[in-house]
């Protein structure tokens, strides 16, 4: 697992208040369907900004930005650049 | 809306004696007649929900600090929060406190937070009552009302620091929560219109705080989670929300660990009357002399 994905999953485990283990969810799994609330997604957003040292632009401050590991990864990649391989 | 327009209606209310300037922006006393309107609205609200089979509960206007934390209110509206602090020092600190007061300096620094905060919404103390095992089939219903506090000092008389809210709350399964909100959009509209108020039902746009709040606000709008009954108070162009129907989805169910009858995370919804704002809307609509209000409206308020 690449470093960015690992960090995203770690943040989701700490801040997502998921009733299931994040390890049991694949990258495309809908986190809201898995039980993440919109308030928890705000904690995830703040932790992502803190960890990766950036700010989401206003246009991305919506629920769908945080709906899956893949979606979060795509948002991060577009904002902080592609992860080093 | 300009400050003058707020001020004009505010001045009328104060000049009439219905509302009393209590010495801080947004803080008011109320007259006998004003409180007659309030008790009329609350009685009508109770009668409107009489067939709900709701359990009526009463709570003081302060709630435990842990309860505020659990509701996630600090995530949404930290700027509206009111926290209670008190003095817990010794004689030496007492002397320091008095010296600061005498000097006109900031004396709050010697206070410490108490275990309670001011209640921002009437329904918050209800959710902890629903924990400790699955809810009965059909969920639970509560009627709850009382004083609430939101720190948004303003000249707008409709933006009071301390105000009454009267709610009917449902906690149970998703279908029940949707049903509760549908029923109360219709009942609320009928109730307000029976008082001669012009009502529009609109999607709410709560002032969630900061960048984090943008996510919550976008979600609230996109899913039309909260609808407001708006009616003119200080402006006909920007009418004021005097009541609302709020679908919380599984927000309180999840944060308080409430289970519906089938063991799933409970959903909740509430109908809330902004009692003081409704009183102001009535005063705006029918005039400041309540004895001259239409007989039909008086009959609804004071049967």
In the predicted model, is pLDDT for residue A81 greater than 80? no
Residue B232's beta-bridge partner residues?
none
Name the residue in chain A with its Cα closest to that of B223.
A63
Q: Chain B interface, mutation test: which of A20, A31, A37, A48, most B Cβ atoms within 10 Å?
A: A37
pLDDT in tens, B104-122: 999 999 999 999 999 999 9
In the predicted model, is pLDDT for residue B1 greater than 50? no
Number of Cβ within a 10 Å radius of residue A2: 11
- pLDDT more than 70, % of chain B: 98
pLDDT in tens, B19-38: 999 999 999 999 999 999 99
Instruction: Compute the distance between CA of residue B169 and CA of residue B185 in angstroms, rounded to an integer.
Output: 13
pLDDT of residue B23: 96
Residue B293 contacts residue B206 (beta carbons within 8 Å): no
Contact B219 A62 (CB under 8 A): yes
pLDDT in tens, B223-235: 889 999 999 999 8
pLDDT in tens, B145-173: 999 999 999 999 999 999 999 999 999 99
Contact A37 B254 (CB under 8 A): yes
Backbone phi, psi, residue B200, to 5°: -120, 145
Closest CA to B58 of B140, B147, B136: B147
In chain B, what residues touch A58 (CB-CB under 8 Å)?
211, 214
- Beta-carbon-side half-sphere exposure of residue B274 (alpha carbons within 13 Å): 24
Residue B29's beta-bridge partner residues?
B20
Q: How close A85 comes to chain B (CA, Å)?
A: 31
Q: Which CATH architecture has domain A3-80?
A: Orthogonal Bundle (1.10)
Instruction: Compute the distance between CA of residue A49 and CA of residue B209 in angstroms, rounded to an integer.
Output: 17
Total CB pairs under 8 A between chain A and B: 48
Closest CA to B293 of B192, B196, B157: B196
Residue B249 contacts residue B266 (beta carbons within 8 Å): no
- Mean of pLDDT values over B48-67: 97
A39 touches chain B (CB under 8 A): yes
Name the residue in chain B with its Cα closest to that of A41.
B215
DSSP letter for each residue of A30-51? -TTTTT--HHHHHHHHHHHHHH
Sign of CA dihedral B28, B45, B129, B76: negative
What ranges make up the beta strands (E) of chain B?
19-21, 28-30, 55-58, 62-64, 83-86, 112-118, 140-149, 162-172, 200-203, 226-231, 240-249, 267-274
A52 touches chain B (CB under 8 A): no
Per the structure block, which two tokens stand in for B97?
């406190």
Contact A39 B216 (CB under 8 A): yes
Q: How close A11 comes to chain B (CA, Å)?
A: 16
- Cβ contacts of A75 within 8 Å, gap of 6 or more: A56, A60, A65
- Cβ contacts of B78 within 8 Å, gap of 6 or more: B209
């Amino acid at each position: 697992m690449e470093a960015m994905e690992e960090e995203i999953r770690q943040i989701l485990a700490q801040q997502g208040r998921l009733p299931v283990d994040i390890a049991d969810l694949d990258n495309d799994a809908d986190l809201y369907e898995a039980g993440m609330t919109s308030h928890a997604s705000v904690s995830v957003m703040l932790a992502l900004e803190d960890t990766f040292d950036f700010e989401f632009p206003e246009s991305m401050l919506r629920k769908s930005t945080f709906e899956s590991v893949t979606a979060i990864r795509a948002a991060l990649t577009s904002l902080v650049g592609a992860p080093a391989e | 809306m300009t400050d003058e327009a707020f001020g004009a209606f505010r001045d009328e209310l104060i000049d009439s004696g219905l509302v009393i300037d209590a010495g801080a922006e947004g803080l008011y006393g109320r007259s006998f007649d004003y409180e007659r309107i309030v008790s009329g609205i609350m009685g009508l609200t109770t009668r409107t929900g009489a067939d709900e089979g709701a359990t009526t509960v009463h709570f003081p206007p302060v709630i435990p600090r842990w309860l505020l934390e659990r509701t996630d209110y600090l995530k949404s509206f930290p700027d509206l929060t009111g926290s209670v602090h008190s003095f817990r020092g010794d004689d030496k600190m007492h002397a320091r406190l008095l010296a600061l007061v005498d000097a006109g300096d900031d004396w709050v620094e010697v206070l410490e937070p108490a275990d309670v905060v001011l209640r921002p919404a009437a329904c918050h103390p209800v959710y902890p009552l629903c924990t400790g095992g699955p809810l009965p089939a059909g969920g639970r219903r509560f009627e709850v009302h009382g004083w609430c506090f939101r720190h948004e000092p303003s000249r707008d008389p409709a933006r009071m620091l301390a105000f009454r809210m009267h709610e009917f709350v449902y906690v149970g399964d998703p279908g029940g929560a949707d049903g509760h909100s549908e029923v109360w959009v219709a009942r609320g509209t009928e109730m307000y219109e029976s008082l001669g108020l012009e009502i529009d039902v609109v999607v709410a746009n709560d002032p969630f705080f900061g960048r984090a709040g943008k996510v919550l606000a976008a979600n609230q709008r996109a899913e039309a989670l909260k609808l407001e009954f708006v009616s003119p108070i200080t402006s006909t162009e920007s009418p004021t929300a005097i009541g609302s129907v709020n679908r919380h989805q599984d927000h309180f169910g999840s944060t308080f660990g409430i289970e519906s009858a089938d063991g799933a995370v409970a959903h909740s919804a509430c109908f809330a009357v902004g009692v003081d704002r409704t009183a102001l809307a009535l005063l705006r609509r029918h005039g400041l002399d309540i004895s001259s209000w239409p007989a039909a409206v008086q009959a609804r308020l004071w049967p």
